[in-house]
Amino acid sequence: MSHDPWSRPTVDDLKRILEAIGRSDETHNRVAERIELSVPAEIVTTRGNVVSAMTREISRSGIGFVHRGAVNPGEVRVKLASDTREFEYTVHLEWCTPCDGGMFISGGRFLGKIE
């Protein structure tokens, strides 16, 4: 059975990627504290393509993802859901880079919440 290169990463995929990346000792001079967050998400590109993702971390100003397939930097819509609510934000995706297992990590800053 072929593997869909755009499917949502599994929790095991996410754990393997995060373990492979490890923690950086360098100082990033970030204004907002980041917390680890692993929840399902969708990244909707300006062309309307939907990329299934998992969040990696979040702060007041930005969010990081792990997903299959590259996503071009630029303005995207991001959908997150909890057990009881859905959230949708406009995010400026600032970077996307390949990592282990054909996966990509990306990150961007929040531009606003979509009501």
User: pLDDT at position 72, please?
Assistant: 95
- Higher per-residue pLDDT: 91 or 83: 91
- Higher per-residue pLDDT: 102 or 31: 102
In whole angstroms, give the CA distance from residue 89 to residue 87.
7
- Higher per-residue pLDDT: 86 or 26: 86
Q: Which CATH architecture has domain 11-20+33-113?
A: Beta Barrel (2.40)
CA 94-80-107 angle, 5° bins: 15
What is the pTM (predicted TM-score) of this model? 0.74
Close Cβ partners of 93 (under 8 Å, ≥ 6 residues apart): 43, 71, 72, 73, 74, 75, 76, 106, 107, 108
